[in-house]
Chain A
Amino acid sequence: MPIKAREAMRTQDPQVRVRNFGEVALGYSDGQAGSEAGRCQQCKKKPCSSGCPVGVDIPAFIGLIKDGDILGAARKIKESNNLPAVCGRVCPQEEQCEKHCILGKKGEPVAIGRLERYVADYERQVGVETPPLPAPSAGVPDLAGAARKKVAIVGSGPSGLTVAADLARLGYGITVFEALHEPGGVLVYGIPEFRLPKAIVKEEIDNIRKLGAEVRVDAVIGKIDSVDELLANGYSAVFIGTGAGLPNFMGIPGENLNGVYSANEFLTRTNLMKAYRFPDFDTPVKVGKRVAVIGGGNVAMDSARCALRLGAEDVYIVYRRSEKEMPARREEVEHAVEEGVKLNLLCCPSRIIGNVDGWVEALECVKFELGEPDESGRCCPIRIKGSEYTISMDTVIMAIGNSPNPLISQTTPDLRTGRHGVLIADPETGATTKQGVYAGGDIVTGAATVISAMGAGKRAAAAIDRYLRGV
C-alpha cells in the first residue's frame, strides 16, 4: 500500500514575506492536523520518542489529536517538554524524532514537529490551562516557607527555562538570573521573529513564571553575586546555562571595518532591539544593498533572511564547502533560497576591503574544492591557490560560530573548563566539578540546538532534585 503523503504546511508567499517580519510558516488547520495525525501508526516501540532529547511520548500525543482531545495532547507533551510552541518551530525534527519514524523508511515520516506546533498553538489560543499544583516530592517536605530549598539558574535560554520549569513543578524555589533585559536567551536575541514570534516565547516564559519561578533580568552573575555567593546566600544548588555567547571572527584583514557585524550583533540588533522598526525603536542596524553572510549554519540563514527583510537587494551566503555539507536545516536553506538568498559555495573570504572612510567596499574570496571526507564525514575543503577574486559588498556578517561565555568560569575558580572554555559537566547529570553546581546547554557542548539544551536541562533538573533530596 502506498504511503499517504504528509500534509504540507501553509507558508507566506516568498515574494510577500521577504518584505515583512511576520511568521513564515503558518501552521496546520484543524483538518490538516487531524489528517496528519491519522498517518501515525501508533508503534508500540515508539522509535520516534527515542529520538527526542526530552523524551516526549509522541504516539500518545498524536493519538489524542486523533481522538480530538487537543488539550489532552498539550498536557501529554508538557509532561516532558515545557516549551512546545518553541520546539514545534525550531527543533530539527528531521534529525531527531522524525528520523526514526517507520513511515520514513518508504515515504515521508509523520510531521511530528508540525503537530506539536499545532497542539501548542491551539492551547495558546483557547488559553493555557492553569498548571497543576506542584506534585509533592519526597525530601521537599514543606513546600511553603523557609524550609523550601532554593535553586539559582544562571541564564534564561532553553536549558535554564527547562530546569526552572521542572524544578518549580517539584516545589523548589526558583530564581532565574538573566543578563539581558528580556528573558529567553537565544530564543529572543538570536532566532528571528519570522521563525519564532517573540509573543510565543513571552507566553511560554509567563507559563514558567506561573509555576512559581522568579525571573530576574539585568542580572549578570559573576558581576553582581558570584556562584559562590549564591551558594552562600541561601541557594542550595546552582544551574549554569549561560550559552555560547562569544562571537567568533575569522582573523582576516578588514574585520573591524564599519559594516562588518558578528551574526550575534546583527541578530541582536534586529530581533531583541527591534531595529527593523527603527526609528520607532531606538536601536539602528546598518544594511547595505549587497550583503555577504559568512557561514552555512542556521544562524547564517537567519542573518541572510533578516538582511533581505531589512531591505538588502542582494544577499549571499558565502560557505567554503558545498550545499550538502551545510550544517543548516534543509528547510531553512530552502526558505532562504526561495526568498532570493544566493549561495556562494566552495569559497571563503580572505580579506575585507574598505573605502577611505573605513566602510566595507568589497570582499576578497578564495575558491575551494572538496577533498576526502574527514572524521566528521564531511568532505574537507582545500584552498585553490591563486583563485582569489573580489566582489563588491556593503555589509559583511560573520556567522561562523560562537565560543562559551567565560564570565562564570572566570569568577568561579573551582569550575573546570575544557576545550574552547566549555564547562566540564557529566553528560548524564550536568554535574560540574564543583559540588552543588550543574551546567547544561551550549556552555557545556559548544554551540548546538535548542532541544539538546532542553534535554540537558531535563537531566540536570532530575539530578539537582536527587542531590537536594540526598538520594
Chain B
Amino acid sequence: MYRIVEKQDLTPTIKLMRVVAPAVAKKALAGQFIILRLHDRAERIPLTVADYDRDQGTITIVFQVVGKSTEELATVKVGESILNFVGPLGQASEIEHYGNVVCIGGGVGVAPIYPITRSLRQAGNRIASIIGARSADLLFFEEEMRSVSDEFYIVTDDGSKGRRGLVTDALGAILKSGEQIDLVFAIGPVPMMRAVADLTKTHGIRTVVSLNPVMVDGTGMCGGCRVSVGGTTKFACVDGPDFDAHQVDFDELLMRQRMYRKEEQESSEHYHQCSCRG
C-alpha cells in the first residue's frame, strides 16, 4: 500500500498527489513514469513522474480527471492509500548540455515537463519555457516553471492570461527572434506535440516529445503501447516514452489512443450508476 501524504487541486480537473514510495523515489529520474492501481478491480494507470523527493521517499503525480479511473483516484484523501504503485518505468530523458533549450508544456503536460526543465537547467542549458492551457484557471506550476527558466511564457487559448493563442505561436516568436535554439522538448496533447514537431522540422531543430499511448504492464510485456517511430515499431514503455518528434507517426498514435473510447464511456456510466446506488 502506498500512502498519500499531500493532495492539491491544481485546477478544477487537475490534481496533484504526493505518494510514499521510497523504492521508486530512490531511483526516479526526469522523464520516467509510474503505473498505479487503486484497488483490486482497478486498471493500471500510467502517469509521468511530476517530481520526486529522495529524502522523504515520495513521488509526486499530477493527473487530469478524464474518466472513471481518474475520477475515482481523485476521491482518495490524504492519509489513505493506493494499492499498487510501480516504477520508475521507461527510459529517463536524455539530460545533457545542449545550449539553448525550449521546454513546452501544454495542459496536464506541464507536470512532466517541469522535472525535465529543471534537470536541463541544472545541466547548464539556457531555458526558455512555454506553458499553455485553454484558459487562466487551467494553468498550474507557473512558479515552479518560472523558477527553472531563463525566459518564461504563458499562453492561453482565450487570452485570459499571458499571450492569447497556442504554444506554437510563442515558439514561433522565439524562432523568429533569430535566437539559436539547440533543442525543443514538448509534452502535451498529441495535436500540440504534432504542431510543435511540424514547426521545428521546418527550422531543422531537434525536438523530443514524451508519448502516452494505452499501456497495461509498462515493462514491455504486452506491446499495447506500440508506436511507429521512423517507420519501425517501438514500445513506448521500454523504448520511450521520449522519442524524436520528427520521426513519430502522430496519426497512428491518435488513432490508437481512441481504441477504448466506447468502453471508457461505458465504464464511466457504470461508475456513476453504482455511485448513485451506493
A residues at B contact (CB < 8 Å): 179-181, 189, 217-220, 223-225, 245-247, 249, 255-256, 258-259, 261-262, 264-265, 268-269, 273-274, 278-284, 286, 357-358, 405-407
Chain B residues, CB < 8 A from A245:
219-221
Q: How many interface residues does B have (CB within 8 Å)?
A: 42
Main secondary structure of the interface of B (DSSP, over half): mixed
* Cα separation A223 to B24 with both chains bound (whole Å): 8
Asked if A181 meets B84 with Cβ closer than 8 Å, knowing A245-B219, A247-B223, A281-B41, the reply is yes
Asked if A269 meets B216 with Cβ closer than 8 Å, knowing A181-B37, A224-B23, the reply is yes
Q: Interface with A: B10-18, B94-102, B179-187, B256-264, which one?
A: B256-264
* Cα separation A422 to B239 with both chains bound (whole Å): 19
Query: B263 to A179, Cβ gap below 8 A?
Result: no
Chain B residues, CB < 8 A from A223:
27, 87-89
Selected contact of B228 from candidates A256, A283, A406, CB within 8 Å: A256
B residues at A contact (CB < 8 Å): 23-24, 26-27, 37, 41-44, 68-69, 83-89, 216-217, 219-224, 226-228, 233, 238, 252, 255-256, 258-260, 263, 266-267, 270-271
Chain B residues, CB < 8 A from A280:
41, 270
Q: When A and B form their complex, which 3 residue pairs have the shortest distance between CB atoms, in order from nearest?
A: A284-B263, A265-B222, A358-B255
Query: A218 to B260, Cβ gap below 8 A?
Result: no
Chain A residues, CB < 8 A from B266:
279, 284
Asked if A256 meets B226 with Cβ closer than 8 Å, knowing A218-B84, A220-B86, A358-B252, the reply is yes
Q: Return B210 CB to nearest CB of chain A, in Å.
A: 17
Chain B residues, CB < 8 A from A274:
41
Q: Return B234 CB to nearest CB of chain A, in Å.
A: 11
* Cα separation A261 to B259 with both chains bound (whole Å): 12
Query: A249 to B233, Cβ gap below 8 A?
Result: yes
Query: A407 to B238, Cβ gap below 8 A?
Result: yes
Query: A256 to B233, Cβ gap below 8 A?
Result: yes
Query: A246 to B220, Cβ gap below 8 A?
Result: yes
* Cα separation A278 to B256 with both chains bound (whole Å): 20
* Cα separation A245 to B219 with both chains bound (whole Å): 9
Query: A264 to B222, Cβ gap below 8 A?
Result: yes
Query: A258 to B258, Cβ gap below 8 A?
Result: yes
Chain B residues, CB < 8 A from A268:
216-217, 221-222
Chain A residues, CB < 8 A from B267:
278-279, 282, 284
With both beta carbons as reference points, the residue of chain A lying nearest to B69 in the complex is identified as A282
With both beta carbons as reference points, the residue of chain B lying nearest to A255 in the complex is identified as B233
Query: B233 to A405, Cβ gap below 8 A?
Result: no
- Since A258-B258, A279-B263 are in contact, a sample of 7 more A-B pairs with Cβ atoms closer than 8 Å, ordered by chain A residue number, is A181-B84, A181-B86, A245-B221, A249-B226, A282-B43, A284-B267, A405-B220
Query: A218 to B43, Cβ gap below 8 A?
Result: no
Could you list some 26 contacts between A and B, CB below 8 A? A179-B219, A181-B86, A189-B221, A218-B84, A223-B87, A224-B23, A224-B24, A224-B27, A245-B219, A246-B221, A249-B226, A256-B226, A262-B222, A262-B224, A265-B224, A268-B222, A269-B216, A274-B41, A282-B267, A286-B260, A358-B252, A358-B256, A405-B220, A406-B220, A407-B219, A407-B238
Query: A217 to B43, Cβ gap below 8 A?
Result: no
Query: A407 to B220, Cβ gap below 8 A?
Result: yes
With both beta carbons as reference points, the residue of chain B lying nearest to A357 in the complex is identified as B255
* Cα separation A274 to B227 with both chains bound (whole Å): 25
Q: Return B105 CB to nearest CB of chain A, in Å.
A: 25
Asked if A262 meets B223 with Cβ closer than 8 Å, knowing A224-B27, A256-B256, A282-B267, the reply is yes
Q: Return B242 CB to nearest CB of chain A, in Å.
A: 16
* Cα separation A281 to B263 with both chains bound (whole Å): 12
Chain B residues, CB < 8 A from A219:
23, 86
Q: Return B97 CB to nearest CB of chain A, in Å.
A: 25
Q: Return B160 CB to nearest CB of chain A, in Å.
A: 35
Chain B residues, CB < 8 A from A259:
259
With both beta carbons as reference points, the residue of chain B lying nearest to A218 in the complex is identified as B86
Chain A residues, CB < 8 A from B223:
246-247, 249, 262, 264-265
Q: Return A352 CB to nearest CB of chain B, in Å.
A: 13
Chain B residues, CB < 8 A from A283:
43-44, 216
Q: Return A394 CB to nearest CB of chain B, in Å.
A: 13
Chain B residues, CB < 8 A from A246:
220-221, 223
* Cα separation A280 to B89 with both chains bound (whole Å): 28
* Cα separation A358 to B252 with both chains bound (whole Å): 8
Asked if A278 meets B217 with Cβ closer than 8 Å, knowing A223-B87, A256-B228, A264-B222, the reply is no
Query: B255 to A258, Cβ gap below 8 A?
Result: yes
Q: Return B162 CB to nearest CB of chain A, in Å.
A: 36
Chain B residues, CB < 8 A from A261:
224
Chain B residues, CB < 8 A from A224:
23-24, 26-27
Q: Return B58 CB to nearest CB of chain A, in Å.
A: 15
* Cα separation A202 to B190 with both chains bound (whole Å): 41
Chain A residues, CB < 8 A from B83:
181
Query: B86 to A405, Cβ gap below 8 A?
Result: no
Chain A residues, CB < 8 A from B219:
179, 220, 245, 405, 407
Asked if A258 meets B220 with Cβ closer than 8 Å, knowing A219-B23, A224-B24, the reply is no
Chain A residues, CB < 8 A from B27:
223-224
Query: A284 to B260, Cβ gap below 8 A?
Result: yes
* Cα separation A189 to B224 with both chains bound (whole Å): 15
Chain B residues, CB < 8 A from A225:
23
* Cα separation A218 to B267 with both chains bound (whole Å): 25
With both beta carbons as reference points, the residue of chain B lying nearest to A243 in the complex is identified as B221
* Cα separation A273 to B218 with both chains bound (whole Å): 14
Query: A405 to B256, Cβ gap below 8 A?
Result: no
* Cα separation A275 to B10 with both chains bound (whole Å): 33
Chain B residues, CB < 8 A from A269:
216, 222
* Cα separation A97 to B86 with both chains bound (whole Å): 40
* Cα separation A35 to B227 with both chains bound (whole Å): 57
* Cα separation A381 to B144 with both chains bound (whole Å): 62
Chain B residues, CB < 8 A from A258:
255-256, 258-259
* Cα separation A282 to B217 with both chains bound (whole Å): 15
* Cα separation A286 to B226 with both chains bound (whole Å): 17
Chain A residues, CB < 8 A from B43:
273, 281-283
Asked if A256 meets B224 with Cβ closer than 8 Å, knowing A282-B41, A283-B43, the reply is no
Chain B residues, CB < 8 A from A181:
37, 44, 83-84, 86
* Cα separation A278 to B43 with both chains bound (whole Å): 11
* Cα separation A224 to B85 with both chains bound (whole Å): 12
Q: Return A274 CB to nearest CB of chain B, in Å.
A: 8
Chain A residues, CB < 8 A from B224:
261-262, 265
Query: A282 to B42, Cβ gap below 8 A?
Result: yes
* Cα separation A259 to B224 with both chains bound (whole Å): 11
With both beta carbons as reference points, the residue of chain A lying nearest to B226 in the complex is identified as A256
Q: Return B84 CB to nearest CB of chain A, in Å.
A: 4
Chain B residues, CB < 8 A from A265:
216, 222-224
